[in-house]
Structure 1
Amino acid sequence: MRIEIDGAGLITAVKPNAPSDGAEIAAGPVVPTLPNLHSHAFQRAMAGLAEVSGAGNDSFWTWREEMYRTVGEITPEDAQAIATRLYVDLLKSGFGAIAEFHYLHHDKSGALYADRAETSKRILAAAEASGIGMTLLPVFYAHANFGGIAPHEGQRRFIHDVDGFERLMGELGPACGQAGATLGYAFHSLRAATPEEMNTLLASLPNSGPLHIHIAEQQKEVDDSIAWSGKRPMQWLFDHMPVDERWCLIHATHANPTEVERMAASGAVAGLCPATEANLGDGIFEAVAYRGRQGRLGIGTDSHISTSVAEELRTLEYSQRLRDERRNRLADGPHRSVGRDIYDAALAGGAQALGQPIGAIAPGKLASLVVLDGDDAFIDTAKNDAILDRWLFALGDRAVRDVMVAGQWRIREGRHDQDETINAAFKTAIRKLARH
């Protein structure tokens, strides 16, 4: 199979049974890189530090206090170093593009930087240094809970009013254009934005580009939503917002059968983050029922407790098995490969959620490709869809050899060409944070 790529990194032709004259021969099977639809890059700095039990029943809400402590100390330079190393690690596992759900906007006091887009530009710089594809999602975050409750001290670095957020978006259009990044935006959650604020921004910002929101991640959020509006968060969202293919609903863990049906019918993407959801004890998304209604889904690494394509997809499938006490839950029918079906679903949903021409080896798509290690005995002896099953369920990251993004090799034989420099900056940032 010959894949022809132009100078802009787009695939121009895919030719079976073609001669190899003048072409580079891949060192193993080639598949599309997976889009990563949900990231809080700065949270990678605290990975593994919230695994000590507290005085009571630990949950997302107790984990969040550790996150606030970490975020309170991160400088823009730290954020860039952490994000750059994270993005390289994600590339090495087979991700090729990321949607950065970015809400670390302001300094430690909550004040604007001299450049209000300072931290967003640091994310763009991290993407450029690593070579990962970027969809930047500045996050509107204004309140602590439903009903416009005032934010508390731990949230001060995240907070915008509508006017300030519109100004930020205006500055990021040119910055993303220059960096070759896609620009969308996000509402943090129904807890953090009032209906009036959401409607104002929907009317004032461009009606294009991805639009993401956290929704129904924890049972407490569902209970608080009912107390506020008489409706569950997913129910309220579909009753009051124009949810369509542009939207990505992050987590959607606590969706009842009616909400699963509405979400699938809307064309929105369910943004699942299985390793983080498992780490936080959020619950299990009803992926079997959702896929049974042709619902669209994609995968994110969220808090980056894991940075692995294989671990995320395996955790998604295994969560359904544990709940249902059955095997092979997300295959699309009898005699189907689970690995192939969940990889294909995450490719399509991720590409939609990122708003980028990725997720397939086809003309008109970006040449973002993973080369699996053809020297590995498991890969060498596997055929067709069994290659994906071996990678995702047996081998994990060590199967990934080379990674191309938009026609440029970023990972070669498991290494990035700037590994030493990137690792040194990351170590400096982590050492500084560890002293606090």
Structure 2
Amino acid sequence: MADYRGKIVEPNLVWINDKFEAGIKLKISQNGIIEEISREISGDVVELPQFALIPGFINAHSHAFHRNLRGQSGIGCQESDTFWKWRDAMYKLVENISYDNFKQLCKGTFEEMINAGITTVGEFHYVHHENDRFNLDNAVIEAAQEAGIRLVLIETLYSRSGFNAETVNKEQKRFESKIDEFIKHLKILEKSTNSTTTLAVAAHSTRAVDTEGIQTLWRYASENNKSFHIHLEEQPKEIEDCINSFHRLRPSELLLDKMYPVTSKLTVVHCTYTLREHLNVFAKKDVNICICPLTEGFLGDGIPDLNDTDHLCLGTDCNNRINFLEEMRWLTYCQNMKHNRRNCCKLDATKLLQIATFNGAKSLGLEGAVGKFEVGQQFDYVAFDLESKRLKDFKAPNMLLDAVIFGAGNEEIAAVGVAGIERKQK
């Protein structure tokens, strides 16, 4: 595996300023940061004549352990016809999970992400407890470090089983924590952070955390400059239950009513059934909306009502199929089919790449560190093989990105690197 730290690299093509350019050299520091980008950099150059480089993909929403349900989709079976029945299988998966098994599940998922060009993952983590409180959090961190992926551990609060419940049910005991204990643990977790492992926070959903818990955690996130994530309106039942509870509001209305001030530090995940009027409010407040097209199709969730004002990012969520190019494609295709048009949300190849890179970084609080090839950013990259069968006839700079996003797959990824260190090589 190559190590480009302390070196100058020159790919055949590199994605700079929203276009592919040739003849560009990148000087990488000893700690994997881009020091200089220029056509004229003196020194020995590592030439990469077969590669086109783009910034590494940034996965803003993952549940790594869900991947172990692969092969058990139940699609087409009457007894598996809803999201809620799938959720029962997920509960069973972690019912008796050990630290080592959980770590291996996560590591396998993270390694597969690297092979798909994902260099940063936001792991929305709520399976906290084995024998000791919160010990499974360290299993996720160790798994990411061993896989070589950049991790934002989205530490997730989960306190109750439903809107009118006081606590969790027996299947959710490994998830459960109260807000005071949770915040105290966040301060301990902070000691595990480094240049490739950082923290964000989440309330699992308005269903699983009461409004006081959401408000307290939002205040903590705001005061400590942490990104805040929450599942929102993925399923009609969630909305119906919220309206039928004492709140008498939709979950999105509840968030907008109780979280103040709403800022770009907030990421709402799915928004499958969020009304356009509420999405408009999120857009005006620069809120990130994380869409997970392959999971939303896999689980039969639905298609959100998006437009070109939304601040979108992408996640692999249940990880049944890990292919970020497909996530980009299906974000576009679903909107095209929903509206019977081919120019929905202005989702061309350039915008899709921004959604898959910089927008993901913004959602995870990493926009100053990753998501672009700029001086001062980490050298996290995906290299595509220009001589591959799918790309060799379409490698002109003005065609290549469109060919990659709408025509290529993981097979065309030749190499992947994090902080200048190659983590995958074809």
Matched, 1:386 2:399: yes
> Is the 1:190–1:233 Cα contact (8 Å) retained in structure 2?
yes
C-alpha separation in 1, matches of 2:399 and 2:357: 18
The Cα of 1:176 is off from its aligned counterpart by 1.9
The Cα of 1:349 is off from its aligned counterpart by 1.4
Q: Which residue of 2 aligns with 1:329?
A: 344
Equivalent of 2:207 in 185, 191, 194: 191
Q: Which residue of 2 aligns with 1:224?
A: 241
The Cα of 1:388 is off from its aligned counterpart by 2.1
> Is the 2:314–2:355 Cα contact (8 Å) retained in structure 1?
no
Question: CA 1:239–1:385 in 2, change beyond 3 Å: closer, same or farther?
Answer: farther
Q: Deviations over 1:218-272 (max 9, x none)?
A: 1111111111222211122112113211111111111112111011111111011
Q: Which residue of 2 aligns with 1:212?
A: 229
Q: Which residue of 1 aligns with 2:321?
A: 306
Length-normalised TM-score, structure 2 = 0.89
> Is the 1:370–1:404 Cα contact (8 Å) retained in structure 2?
yes
Equivalent of 2:297 in 278, 282, 286: 278
Bigger mean CA offset, 45-54 vs 404-413: 45-54
> Is the 2:179–2:217 Cα contact (8 Å) retained in structure 1?
yes
C-alpha separation in 2, matches of 1:156 and 1:310: 36
Bigger mean CA offset, 295-304 vs 51-60: 51-60
More helix by share: 1
Q: Which residue of 2 aligns with 1:367?
A: 379
> Is the 1:41–1:304 Cα contact (8 Å) retained in structure 2?
yes
How large is the Cα RMSD of the aligned pairs? 1.9
Matched, 1:130 2:147: yes
Q: Residue type matched to 1:39 in 2? A: S
C-alpha separation in 2, matches of 1:47 and 1:57: 14
Question: CA 1:26–1:39 in 2, change beyond 3 Å: closer, same or farther?
Answer: farther
Matched, 1:339 2:352: no
How many corresponding residue pairs?
397
Q: Which residue of 2 aligns with 1:82?
A: 105
Q: Which residue of 1 aligns with 2:363?
A: 353
> Is the 1:103–1:158 Cα contact (8 Å) retained in structure 2?
yes
> Is the 2:203–2:217 Cα contact (8 Å) retained in structure 1?
no
C-alpha separation in 2, matches of 1:56 and 1:131: 39
Q: Which residue of 2 aligns with 1:335?
A: none
Q: Which residue of 1 aligns with 2:129?
A: 106
C-alpha separation in 2, matches of 1:78 and 1:26: 41
Equivalent of 1:13 in 32, 36, 43: 36
Q: Deviations over 1:321-350 (max 9, x none)?
A: 111122243436xxxxx2222111332210
The Cα of 1:27 is off from its aligned counterpart by 2.8
The Cα of 1:96 is off from its aligned counterpart by 0.7
C-alpha separation in 2, matches of 1:405 and 1:258: 39
Structure 2 unpaired stretches of 5+: 1-23
Q: Deviations over 1:157-204 (max 9, x none)?
A: 100012221232121000123x74111111000001111122233345
The Cα of 1:136 is off from its aligned counterpart by 0.6
Q: Residue type matched to 2:199 in 1? A: L
> Is the 1:340–1:385 Cα contact (8 Å) retained in structure 2?
no
Q: Which residue of 2 aligns with 1:163?
A: 180
Question: CA 1:85–1:366 in 2, change beyond 3 Å: closer, same or farther?
Answer: same
The Cα of 1:17 is off from its aligned counterpart by 6.1
More strand by share: 2
C-alpha separation in 2, matches of 1:341 and 1:384: 16
Q: Which residue of 1 aligns with 2:266?
A: 247
